[in-house]
Structure formats: structure tokens, C-alpha cells
Homo-oligomer: A and B are copies of this chain.
Amino acid sequence: MTGTLLLTKEEVRGLLHMPDVIAEVEDAYRAYSGGDVDQPPYMGIHLSTEAAEIDFKAGYHRSGELVSLKASSGGFRDNPGRFGLPNGMGTVLLFDGSSGALTCVMDGSLLTGFRTGASGAVSVRALARPGARRLAAIGTGHQARMQIRAIREVMQIDAIDAWGRSPEGARAFAAEIEAECGIPVTVAGTSQEAVAEADVVVATTRASGVVLRAGWLRPGTHMVAIGADQPGKQELDPELFRDARVVVDAAAQCCEKGEVQHALKAGIVTGPLDEIGEVLLGRKPGRETEDQITIFDSTGMAIQDNTTAAALLCEAKARRVGTYFDFLAPAG
């Protein structure tokens, strides 16, 4: 009863399977919009080291009877050189909601990338035109890769147009994705060129300024906006939201921190915002016409970590992966 399952980063890597994560993130969205979730505002700590921070996000899935806590560190730029460590790491704790017992401690470094990638795929399945085949990647970092890995599970991607601030970064992205996925990737000279023919656009820049303007997208495009997750961050022209079908992951959070915050402030979008969970539950419409531009604004939620980690725990138990440790064991 009192054993805690410990899972290393490599064990978690072996358990993570993108189609399952997509299903878990869908469940998370349904649970959240269905009122089956408690997620207090997160705690963030800025360290003395420049740009470094550790955040804590907790979530409770009532019917799943698990409480999750994810600690995420990031911005420790000296880690690789100084300590041989990645510049960001993560840890996830799972507590049994019926006893409060610590059920699992797993490395959480890979989880955020997977569940965030999966969020884009969930929105593509729910909102993109059925015939969508061409994808534009605006931003070519780690999360752009995760978006492709997830979206190809739910959409046949025939070609990718990529743009990033760093041409070398974009070329590395293109080579990697072509080798891994067998999808031809064209590096575009401008973000406007990259999106000109796209059916689906995935924006994952660090959102330090507007990189996409209104009028650049074709009618019927689905837009996945991942980059903005803090007040003030922005990668889209607010005018892009005019007449678009806007769907968010969490209404309250996106008003404050999502890409849509700027369109709301400008009066281009008026609340209340519709959530992807409401669309998945059939309570709100998804795409309304072939020509409509749809925008999914994702800021990330603790409940995505919760359902994903819960499924990993379940899978680890079934496959007998991991090490049990008894924090409550009598003295030996």
C-alpha cells in the first residue's frame, strides 16, 4: 500500500507513446471543461541565476482520483557546460486522491514537450479541414518538432514549410524532420512565405513580437498558437482573430496569458471564450464553414500533466517498469 513507484527519464521515454498522449490530453480537455478538475493558480520562483526559474503546477482529476504536481525548471543556461545537465528538467509527483499517499515520482523532463505537442494535434483533429495536407511551422525549436510528431498522428502531412528567426536553426529542423518523418520540408525566407499555402499553421516562437499578420493566411486555415503563455507575450497580429473561430484550452487563463489576450484588449474578440473541451464534449461548435479560419490558443494546463502522467503510471505498472521505494517503511 505504501510503495512509491520511481520512474527515470529513460523509463518515461520508453513509456511515452504519442497516440496515447493525444488521447490523454483530449481527456484532460474534456474533464476540465466538464468541471471535473481542480487546478489552483501555479507557483513560480525566479532564481538568482539570470533567467532561471522553477514552476510548480498542481492538478486534481476528480473522477481519476489522482492529484499531480509537476515541478519544471528552465533557463539554467550554464547547466550543460557546468554540470553536464540539461538547462531545464522536470519532476512529476502523483498522489492517490483517496488517501493522499505518494503513488509515483517520475522524471517529468519529457512530459511537457509531449503533452504540449499533443494539444496541437487535438486541435487539428477537432478544427482543421478534413482535407488539410500542408503544414507551416513558424518557429523551428524543440516544440515545433513535438507539434509535427503529434500532428502527423492525426493528419496526413504531405509537405512542411518552415520559418524561424535563425536560418541555421530552420535548416537543422528541416533536415531532422525529413529524416525522422520522411516529410519534405522547405525553409521559407519569410514567415509570410511559409504560411502562404498552408492548411495548418503551427506557431511556436518565443513570442517576442508579432511574426504573423492578418491577411497572410488562406481561408480555411487552422492555426495552432503555442508560443504565448505569459502576459505580454505575442506572436500573432490581433487582427488575425477578426472573424476567426477562436477556441482556447482554458478560458480564464487565456484571457490573461494566451495569444488571445491582445485581441481581447483590442476589442477584436469579445468573451466568453469557447474551450476545446466544450467542442470535444459537443457543447460548442467547432469549425463552422470550409473557409473559416480557426485558431486554437493553448497556454498549457496542469490537468494535461495529470492525465498523461496517470496513463504513464498505469502503463509502467502493467509492464513492470520502474523501482518501488517505500517512504513509510519501518526502520530497517
Q: Is the Cβ of A99 less than 8 Å from the Cβ of B85?
A: yes
Query: Is A326 an interface residue when CB atoms closer than 8 A count as contact?
Result: yes
Contact of A43 among B54, B58, B65, B88 (CB under 8 A): B58
Kindly provide the distance from the CB of A90 to the nearest chain B CB, expressed in whole angstroms: 9
A41 contact set on B, CB distance < 8 A: 41, 43
Query: Is A285 an interface residue when CB atoms closer than 8 A count as contact?
Result: no
For window 54-105 of A, CB contacts with B under 8 Å fall at 54, 56, 58, 60, 62, 65, 67, 69, 71, 73-74, 76, 79, 82-85, 88-89, 91, 93, 95, 97-102, 105
What is the CA–CA distance of A106 and B325 in the complex, to the nearest angstrom?
A: 11
**How many copies are assembled?**
2
Task: Kindly state the interface size class of chain A when it binds its partner.
Answer: 35 or more
A40 contact set on B, CB distance < 8 A: 43-45
A73 contact set on B, CB distance < 8 A: 95, 99-101
Query: Is A9 an interface residue when CB atoms closer than 8 A count as contact?
Result: yes
Interface string of A294-307 (1 = CB under 8 A from B): 00000000000000
Binding site for B on A (CB under 8 A): 1-2, 6-11, 13-14, 38, 40-49, 52, 54, 56, 58, 60, 62, 65, 67, 69, 71, 73-74, 76, 79, 82-85, 88-89, 91, 93, 95, 97-102, 105-107, 109, 323, 325-331
